[in-house]
Structure 1
Amino acid sequence: MAAAHSGLGTQICEELSCSICLELFTRPKVLPCQHTFCQDCLQDHAGRGGTFQCPNCRRQVRLPPQGVAGLPDNHLVTSLCERLQNQATLSGKTRAQSGNRCSFHPSEEVRLYCKQCNMPVCIECLDEIHSDHRTITLKKASEERKAPVQALIVEGRTILETYCTSLRSLREREKALDETKQETDNSIIRDYEQEVQKVTEKKDHLPFIFLFLEGEKYKGKKEGLQEERDRVLADVNELSAACDRAEQEMEQGGVESLSQEAILTGVVGRYREKAAPTPAQTQPAVFQPPDTPAFSLTTVAWVFLLAALLLYYPSYWAYNATQIEQQSVPKTVPKTVPNTVPNTVPNTVPKTILKTIPKTVPKTITFGGLGPGTGQFYFPSGVAVSDEGEVFVPDWFNKRIQVFTLQGTFVRQFPTVVPGGQMMWPRDVAMDGEGNLWVVGYRSADVALQYNKQGWVLRMFILQETEWYRGVAVDTRRNHILITQTTEKEGKLHGEVVVFGPDGTLVRTVGQQQGMREPRYITVDGEGRILVSDWDNDCVYVYNEDGQFLFKFGGLGSDEGQLNYPRGICTDRAGNIIVADSFNSRVEMFDKTGKFLKHIATDMEEPHAVAMATQGQLVVIDWSENSVHIIHTY
Structure 2
Amino acid sequence: MASDDFDEQFLTCSICMLHFRDPKVLPCLHTFCRECLQEWATKQQPLECPTCRTQVSLPNQGVDGLRTNFYINNHLLDFAAAKKGTEPGVPCQVCEGNVEGSKSWCADCATLLCESCCAVHRKLPFSKDHEVTPEETLKAEEGRRKFHRKRHCDKHKKYELEFYCESCKALVCTACTVVDHRPGKDHNPVEIATVAQKKKQFLQALLQDIDPRLKEIQASIKEFDRKISNLAPSKEAATDQAKAYFHQLIVLLQKREREILSQIDERCQADGKVLQTKKEAIEFELAGLTSAQTFCQQAVEHGSDVHILEVGNQVQTRVENLLAKQLDLESDWSEFQFVENTAVSDFKKDLQDLGGVKTKIDVLKCEVVVKPAVQGFECVAELTTMNQEGRPCVTKSKAVTANMKDPSGTDVPTQLQMKSWGVWEISYIPNISGNHRLEVKVNSQHVPGSPFVVQVKGNPVLTIGQKGSGVGELNLPLGVAVDKDGNIAVVERGNKRVQIFDKDTGQSLHSFPVDGEKPYDLDVDSNGMFLVTSWGENFGLRRYSKEGKLLDTFKPECMGDPHGLTVLKDGRMVVVNRPQQRSCLLLQPDGSLIREIGKGQLQHPAFVSVDESRDVMFVTDKGAHKVFAFDLDGNTKFDFGKEGQNDGEFQNPRGVTVDRAGNIIVGDCTGRVQVFGPDGTFICIRTVATVKGNDVGGLALTPDGYIAVACWKGHCIELYRYM
TM-score after normalising by structure 2: 0.40
More strand by share: 2
Q: Highest Rg: 1 or 2?
A: 2
More helix by share: 1
TM-score after normalising by structure 1: 0.46
Q: Which has the higher contact order (CA 8 A, sep 6+)?
A: 1
